[in-house]
Amino acid sequence: MSGRKAKKDDDEYVDIDDATDTHENEDAQQGGYSWEEEYKRSWDVLQEDAEGRLSSVVAHLQQQMKRRRLLRDTATVQRGIIRHLFLVIDLSEAMNEKDLRPSRLELTLTYARQFVTEYFDQNPISQLGIIVIRDGVAERLTDLSGNPTDHLRALKNKRNQETSGEPSLQNALDMACASLVNVPSHGSREVLVVYGSLTTCDPGDIYDTIAQLKKEHVRVSFVGLAAEIQVCRTLCKETNGSYGVVLNEAHFKDLLFEAIPPPAVTQTRNTSNLVMMGFPTKSNDLHPSFCVCHSKLTVGGYICPRCSSKICELPTDCDVCGLTLVSSPHLARSYHHLFPVDNFIEVPWSGINSLHCFACQTAFDSSPPPGAGLESNSGRYSCPRCHNQFCVDCDIFVHEVLHNCPGCWAAGSNISTVQIHSKKQPAIQNDVMPMQGVTS
């Protein structure tokens, strides 16, 4: 069958179909056709063991995914445990894109609610505020507050989930800076922006805002949902923030939750060593009385140790005398960031010394599966200090919930850490508590 012909410049005819077949054959020989490159063949990644089973391979992949968030820098650095953070959410029309399932907006609001809960769980004496940007205007949903219920209620409100227009990054940063400028020197000033648009509609020069943020020591971090933007990269670089662009839904959550641990304190800012704090007593009166925070009649509450005013919840600042009011469990909960648990080490089959998990007493496999070498991972994770071995679930529980190694506490190997702490930080006396962490 004769193919189509085309005339070249030297009056010679060539067969177009034959030339096309030649290019297709070359593409096939180079590793596949061009239209096949967009598909990821995940089944090629799986590898069978010696008996043709996939269970061991899948279990190993699940363990790696679980421990991915645990592997972080555990060096002892100076951190501010009283944080003031504004969460800025983009509500422009770009958030209606469905490249993240079910959509950018729905996924962002879902992760934002989880972020608020986890933020106050890990930073109970910190404060958070929420700002949204749409139609070129910044709107403050919630002020800086230590009550997670108010923030969750604002995020669940249908009116606060409507998208329209273009975002204004400068207006949001100016609004956040105006609130953070009144934060005392012992508290950190942070802004976390979830940005889905590629443009910003600003009333002025945004680089003036960047200079102001840098002057006021406000740390700005970005989580981009579309692509990297130069002005956002410059803003994060100038303010010592972090900038990441999401790859998928799981990566989005990882980037967002990286802001939960308190960041290291910059050396350019003057920080306080001591701060006045009050530990109020809980009161349950027979007759209701007015609280100073909401001016409502309540039966229970907390009594300020300085001015004897009644407040509803902790932590907060007394509206009468301005004293920071916390409870001792909140303070202890925040202090674990200063002395993080060391990352556990994967134990090969050649280094096992226990048949049971030290924490939950779950039995380990006594011998490697067929086809696995002695240097492969045995499913055990060892503490580098006490050398006790744990399962992956206990490893996650120790680093995310307990924040103390049970083996170190049982052996008393953390006494040196307590002694170092007592030398570098004064103990809590009356209403005065040490403010910042220990510098390595």
Q: How far apart are the first and last CA of the chain?
A: 80
Instruction: Name which residue leads in pLDDT, 375 or 14.
Output: 375
Q: If pLDDT is split at 50, 70 and 90, which confidence band does 62 have?
A: low
Predicted pLDDT at 200: 94
Q: If pLDDT is split at 50, 70 and 90, which confidence band does 246 have?
A: very high
Structure tokens at 330: 């909140």
Does residue 136 surpass a pLDDT of 50? Answer: yes
Predicted pLDDT at 257: 92
Kindly report the length of the chain: 440
Sole residue written with tokens 């992956």:
392
Residue 128, judged by CB atoms within 10 A of its CB (0-12, 13-18, 19+), counts as buried
Cα–Cα distance for residue pair 264/81, rounded to 1 Å: 10
Q: Is the separation of the CB atoms in 259 and 84 below 8 Å?
A: no
| CA-atom Rg of the chain in angstroms | 28
Predicted pLDDT at 55: 53
Spell out the domains of the chain, with CATH numbers in brackets. 83-257 (3.40.50.410), 280-325 (no CATH), 341-434 (3.30.40.10)
Among 108-122, 247-261, 371-385, where is mean pLDDT lowest? 371-385
Predicted pLDDT at 28: 45
> What's the whole-number mean pLDDT along residues 80-106?
93
Q: Which of 23-37, 180-194, 319-333, 373-387 has the highest mean pLDDT?
A: 180-194
Predicted pLDDT at 268: 54
Cα–Cα distance for residue pair 229/199, rounded to 1 Å: 9
Question: What pTM does this model have?
Answer: 0.72
Strands 310-311, 316-317: pairing is unpaired
DSSP 382-397: E-TTT--EE-HHHHHH
Cross-strand partners of 14:
6
* Torsion angle, alpha carbons of 267, 269, 270, 275, to 10: -100
Q: If pLDDT is split at 50, 70 and 90, which confidence band does 431 have?
A: very low
Instruction: Name which residue leads in pLDDT, 76 or 290.
Output: 290
- Non-local (6+) Cβ contacts of 429 within 8 A are none
Strands 432-434, 377-382: pairing is unpaired
Cross-strand partners of 275:
433
Predicted pLDDT at 133: 96
Q: Three-state DSSP class for 190?
A: strand
Q: Three-state DSSP class for 103?
A: coil
Strand ranges (DSSP E) for 304-360? 310-311, 316-317, 324-325, 345-348
> What's the whole-number mean pLDDT along residues 24-41?
48
Q: If pLDDT is split at 50, 70 and 90, which confidence band does 231 have?
A: very high
Residue 69 Cα distances to 32, 56, 247, 358, 389, angstroms: 36, 22, 16, 22, 19
Predicted pLDDT at 271: 54
Q: If pLDDT is split at 50, 70 and 90, which confidence band does 349 have?
A: confident
Does residue 305 surpass a pLDDT of 90? Answer: yes
How would you label 207-246 residue by residue, b for 16+ Cβ within 10 Å and e otherwise?
eebbeebbeebbbbbbbbbbeebeebeebbeebbbebbbb
Query: According to DSSP H, which parts of 141-282 are helical?
Result: 148-156, 169-180, 206-215, 230-238, 249-257
Residue 438, judged by CB atoms within 10 A of its CB (0-12, 13-18, 19+), counts as middle
Strands 274-278, 324-325: pairing is parallel
Cα–Cα distance for residue pair 72/77, rounded to 1 Å: 13
Cross-strand partners of 334:
none
Does residue 21 surpass a pLDDT of 60? Answer: no
Predicted pLDDT at 42: 53
Work out the mean pLDDT of the chain and round it to a whole number: 79
Q: Three-state DSSP class for 92?
A: coil
Does residue 37 surpass a pLDDT of 50? Answer: no
Q: If pLDDT is split at 50, 70 and 90, which confidence band does 171 have?
A: very high
Rounded (10°) angle between helices 148-156 and 104-122:
170
Predicted pLDDT at 396: 85
- Among residues 399, 321, 316, 301, which one has the least CA distance to residue 359? 399
Predicted pLDDT at 437: 38
Q: If pLDDT is split at 50, 70 and 90, which confidence band does 438 have?
A: very low
Predicted pLDDT at 207: 95
